[in-house]
Amino acid sequence: MLEVQRLNVAYRESHVIKDVSFAVAERESVAIMGRNGMGKTTLLKSLIGMLPARSGSIRLRGTELSGLRGHARVRQGLAFVPQGRMIFPALTVEQNILTGTEYSRYRAVPDYIYACFPVLRDMRNRRGGNLSGGQQQMLAIARALVSDPRVLILDEPTEGIQPSIIKDIARTLNTLRKERGFAIVVSEQMLSFALDLADRFLVIDGGRIVHEEARETLDQEKVRSFLTV
Ligand SMILES: Nc1ncnc2c1ncn2[C@@H]1O[C@H](COP(=O)(O)OP(=O)(O)OP(=O)(O)O)[C@@H](O)[C@H]1O
């Protein structure tokens, strides 16, 4: 459904993403694993249109996305949960979620969002800046989901979050994926979280995909060896 072919992304003369190709099937969950600085954020930002690709193709259900602006990619079915969550601290929880509806059919927060994240319903009138890291992560996921994406892209969602909340987030994402039928592309350094969430693993090293494996056959030690310096 999502097909990335020979993608190259650079910051001026610094070539970061090198000929990356992969595909994601409908409802599939794919983890992109790699150490700091290996290019995960750069890759995801180029998928969503926050960084231009130098060359290559990003197709969603046959539609070429490279060259489209970010909001047009959201309309086509991509949604992004950025690293560090980037919620609006002065807006309420509800206002934060509603910022995600600009390109969606919803004008109010849909019931399923609050059903999946009851803590956000309880805190809907609080300012986003007053939430814990884990609650802010749920908020960033909720904001992305209100565009009804076909592919939810998450950049290191476990960063700075307590282990018990990380488990909750994995469980909720699995439920939502089943119920709403979207695919997931998640960048991670935490193998345990990725194992809870992903059907397939890609390892990125020096801007290239160097290893790919399904969860059933995953050689955890091999993946770990790419994650430790
Ligand atoms: N704005 C930028 N300008 C120039 N180089 C950059 C910029 N942002 C990132 N880079 C470089 O691109 C490479 C990949 O960085 P990127 O943030 O994509 O890695 P990452 O795997 O997501 O790491 P992290 O887990 O730290 O976010 C690094 O060498 C980084 O220094």
pLDDT one-digit tens code per residue, 24-48: 999 999 999 999 999 999 999 999 9
Class of domain 2-227: alpha beta
Structure confidence by residue, pLDDT tens digits, 141-195: 999 999 999 999 999 999 989 888 998 999 999 999 999 999 999 999 889 999 9
pLDDT at 222 over 90: no
What pLDDT is stored for residue 228 in this prediction? 81
Distance from residue 37's CA to the centre of ligand 1 (Å): 5
Please choose, from the candidates 201, 193, 197, 200, the residue with its C-alpha nearest in 3D space to the C-alpha of residue 223.
201
Please answer whether residues 191 and 223 qualify as being in contact, where contact means their C-beta atoms are separated by less than 8 angstroms. Answer: yes
How far does Cα 172 stand from its chain's mean position?
14
pLDDT at 67 over 80: yes
Please work out whether the CB of residue 40 comes within 6 Å of at least one atom of ligand 1.
yes
Please choose, from the candidates 99, 83, 101, the residue with its C-alpha nearest in 3D space to the C-alpha of residue 91.
99
Structure confidence by residue, pLDDT tens digits, 6-21: 999 999 889 999 999 9
Atom of ligand 1 nearest to the CA of 83: 27
What pLDDT is stored for residue 181 in this prediction? 94
Q: Could you tell me the residue ranges of all domains in the chain? A: 2-227
Neighbouring-strand partners of residue 78: 151
Please choose, from the candidates 227, 196, 192, the residue with its C-alpha nearest in 3D space to the C-alpha of residue 211.
227
What pLDDT is stored for residue 105 in this prediction? 80
Structure confidence by residue, pLDDT tens digits, 105-153: 888 888 999 999 999 999 999 999 999 999 999 999 999 999 999 999 9
Please work out whether the CB of residue 15 comes within 6 Å of at least one atom of ligand 1.
no
Atom of ligand 1 nearest to the CA of 39: 18
Distance from residue 206's CA to the centre of ligand 1 (Å): 10
